[in-house]
Amino acid sequence: MVKKILISQPKPSSEKSPYFDIAKEFGVELDFRPFFKVEGISAKEFRQQKINLLDYSAVVFTSRHAINNYFNLAKEMRITIPEDMKYFCSIETIALYIQKFVQYRKRKVFFGKTGKIDDLLPTMVKHKTEKYLVPLSSVHNDDVKNLLDSKHLKHKECVMYRTVSNDFTDEEKKNFDYDMLVFFSPTGVRALLKNFPDFKQGDIKIAAFGPATAREIDAQGLRLDLQAPSKEFPSMAMALENYLKEEK
């Protein structure tokens, strides 16, 4: 019987999160604890890539981490980002996050509807004279590069942040007694095994969000008990609620 669940994400900031409703409805205890954290690279590390931020007239953002570290690096290197810099974001929520750093103007902030770069490409092609800078994580594939190449856009990818394991304290390791672990990325699964090299799954249920996370669980020889999203349950919260309902 699942009574204590570890969600490998930060605790939701809104009281309206469906996870809190699940805890109340099923009487389960939910702990929120990210298994990894994102840290920005230093200005010194960035300079080794021999990239000048002001050589580019547009920036492509695929995550909030990219935005944070782009503006943090600019500040650290005492670079003033020009007012007419254009920002192309994979989705509206990321575009709105830019307001934290610059005045939001529709004529210089563009975003896609699906969260995929493919969806943003037609807009970027309309601005084919721009020189695009694409800030990425130290672990990334060439998907964005290949897409921009296919449209003959001028662009450069650069590393601005990295993902590191958010190590557990001895106290946390001692109190690690969960009936279910919920993962949202392959990095989280690897971080579990880094922190607990002798991890034995036994009766512990494991849930995965996204096909890449599910594949990593399988690759690590673990058993997958719940997978989302699906047509029926597009979010992990919905899938989890259904799982607990069926278990009753």
Q: What is the pLDDT of residues 185-231, one digit of tens each?
A: 998 999 999 999 999 999 999 999 999 999 999 999 999 999 999 99
| Tokens describing residue 91 | 């989705």
**Residue owning tokens 């529709």:** 106
Q: What is the pLDDT of residue 188?
A: 92
| Tokens describing residue 37 | 């954290």
Q: What is the pLDDT of residue 141?
A: 86
Burial 178-188 (b: 16+ CB within 10 A, else e): bebbbbbbbbb
Q: What is the pLDDT of residue 217?
A: 97
Does this model's pTM top 0.75? My answer is no
Domain residue limits, the chain: 39-163, 216-248
Bridge partners (DSSP) listed for residue 58: 86, 132
**Nearest C-alpha neighbor of 90 from the set 51, 65, 60:** 60
Q: What is the pLDDT of residues 220-242, one digit of tens each?
A: 999 999 999 999 999 999 999 99
| Tokens describing residue 118 | 């493919």
| Tokens describing residue 36 | 């990894």
pLDDT interval class at 163 (50, 70, 90): confident
pLDDT at 248 over 90: no
CATH of 39-163, one of 3.40.50.10090, 3.40.50.300, 3.50.50.60, 3.40.50.970: 3.40.50.10090
**Nearest C-alpha neighbor of 109 from the set 120, 119, 79, 152:** 120
- SS3 per-residue string spanning 165-213: ECCCCHHHHHCCCCCEEEECCHHHHHHHHHHCCCCCCCCCEEEEECHHH
The whole-angstrom separation of Cα 109 and Cα 196 is 43
Q: What is the pLDDT of residues 62-113, one digit of tens each?
A: 999 999 999 999 999 999 999 999 999 998 989 999 999 988 777 799 998 8
pLDDT at 140 over 90: no
The whole-angstrom separation of Cα 197 and Cα 232 is 35
